[in-house]
């Protein structure tokens, strides 16, 4: 069975953006060790899932910055965008999914292929968490405290035990916490 991995940047206090969507607190000047970690993390994946809001910036960014590390992997992977509003896409290797999120993710996980990686968008990730669909969490903790903003765990209406598999601190200031379901 395929695993669904979540890779997301968070503030120390658990927000993925500030109260008005600010993301200027995130560290993007990653050191080589973190870049290598991400390359290894995505090596076993062949599908990216995300919500429409993230996709509208994420996919064009990677498409127009083909020289960035990891761009080939992202551009060549199959992308599934969960949307209720988009009717078509010009993005290569991209499918628009209008069906039930939980059912589609379960179907993907049980189909043939490599692992699946999910990228943010607060509502999208919150729904994945609520439905208990994530197998591995890769939380990129930035050394910032926002005080308020967009959380990703607010929809979870159950207690979930996670097991810390690994914690790595990187010179750029990010600490990656890797959890699996206990």
pLDDT of residue 66 exceeding 80, the answer is no
Tell me the whole-structure pTM to 2 decimals. 0.93
pLDDT of residue 82 exceeding 90, the answer is yes
Supply the pLDDT for residue 180: 96
What distances in angstroms separate CA 25 from CA 9, 49, 105, 113, one per listed residue? 10, 24, 31, 35
The 3-class SS string of the chain reads: CCCEEEEEEEECCCEEECCCCCCCCCCCCCCHHHHHHHHHHHHCEEEEEEEHHHHHHHHHHHHHCCCCCCHHHHHHCEEEEECCCCCCCCCCCEEEECCCHHHHHHHHHHCCCCEEEECCCHHHHHHHHHCCCCCEEEEEEECCCCCCCEECCCCCCCCCCEEEEEEEECCCCCEEEEEEEC
Q: What is the pLDDT of residues 29-49, one digit of tens each?
A: 999 999 999 999 999 999 999
Q: Which domains does the chain have, with CATH numbers?
A: 4-112+128-177 (3.40.430.10)
């Amino acid at each position: 069975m395929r695993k669904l991995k979540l890779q997301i940047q968070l503030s120390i206090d658990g927000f993925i953006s500030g109260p008005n969507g600010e993301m200027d607190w995130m560290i993007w000047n990653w050191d080589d060790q973190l870049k290598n970690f991400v390359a290894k993390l995505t090596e076993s994946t062949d599908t990216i899932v995300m919500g429409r809001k993230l996709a509208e910036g994420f996919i064009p960014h990677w498409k127009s910055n083909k020289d960035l590390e990891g761009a080939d992997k992202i551009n060549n992977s199959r992308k599934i965008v969960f949307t209720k509003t988009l009717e078509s896409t010009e993005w290569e290797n991209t499918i628009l999914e209008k069906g039930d999120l939980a059912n589609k993710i379960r179907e993907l996980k049980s189909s043939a292929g490599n692992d699946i990686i999910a990228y943010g968008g607060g509502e999208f990730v919150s729904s994945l968490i609520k439905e208990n669909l994530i197998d591995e969490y890769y939380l990129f903790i930035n050394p910032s405290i926002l005080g308020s903003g967009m959380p990703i765990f607010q929809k979870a209406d159950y207690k979930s035990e996670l097991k810390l598999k690994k914690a790595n601190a990187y010179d750029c200031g990010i600490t990656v916490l890797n959890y699996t379901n206990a």
